[in-house]
Amino acid sequence: MPQFNEQTYKSILNQKKWIDNWFWDRYSINPYSGCSIGCVYCDARSQKYRTPNAPQLDPAAFEKEIFVKKDAHELLDKRLNNARTLLPDVVAMSGKTDCYQPAEKIYRSTREMLKVLQRHHFPVHIITKSNLVLEDAGLLNEIAKNTWAGVSVTITTADPKMSKFLDNKAPHPD
């Protein structure tokens, strides 16, 4: 079981220099730092995305200590309210973490940020492996009525044995 630590952050919305040519997003949000799903091939476990207290040589530390971005939805709302140059464009959620990892069951940071994005008419693209996204299907549908909402679900393999090896803590295909 991972350890959850609430941390205060100065910003939550990342603005890219160019629109991403894979997912077509201009902005990104990562509601958590670290990810307890623990995919063995995850590039976010590299040194560049270390959580504040993670030992430098232990890639597994990325999944053991999850930093919850405290009051992230309020920070996002403040940023969007005060923005003069932000255009409503696609916000990707989960570039360096899975926004529907088990921490979401407790903290609901993703859901609260989706409500903020809905109020500000920002389209959203969610990337996840978790079926927890289904709990926000109604909210995503409401966002889609006024702008756009997309969900990309990764299913690495249909082989249950291989799935347990590659994505041990993600929902399995069996």
DSSP H stretches of helix in 31-136? 61-64, 72-81, 103-107, 109-119
Contacts of 67 (CB under 8 A, 6+ apart): 5, 6, 7, 32, 33, 34, 51, 52
pLDDT digits (tens, 9 = 90+) for 93-110: 988 899 999 999 999 999
Q: Is the pLDDT of residue 47 over 60?
A: no
Please give the share of the chain, as a percent, with pLDDT higher than 70: 91
Residue whose C-alpha is closest to residue 46's, from 33, 61, 59: 59
Alpha-carbon span 164 to 37, nearest angstrom:
11
pLDDT for the residue 128: 95
3-state secondary structure at position 150? strand
Q: What's the pTM?
A: 0.90
- Find where tokens 């570039």 sit: 95
Strands (E), 31-78: 32-33, 65-69
Q: Is the pLDDT of residue 8 over 90?
A: yes
3-state secondary structure at position 135? helix
Instruction: Tell me whether residue 31 is exposed, middle or buried, using C-beta atoms within 10 angstroms of its C-beta: 0 to 12, 13 to 18, 19 or more.
Output: buried
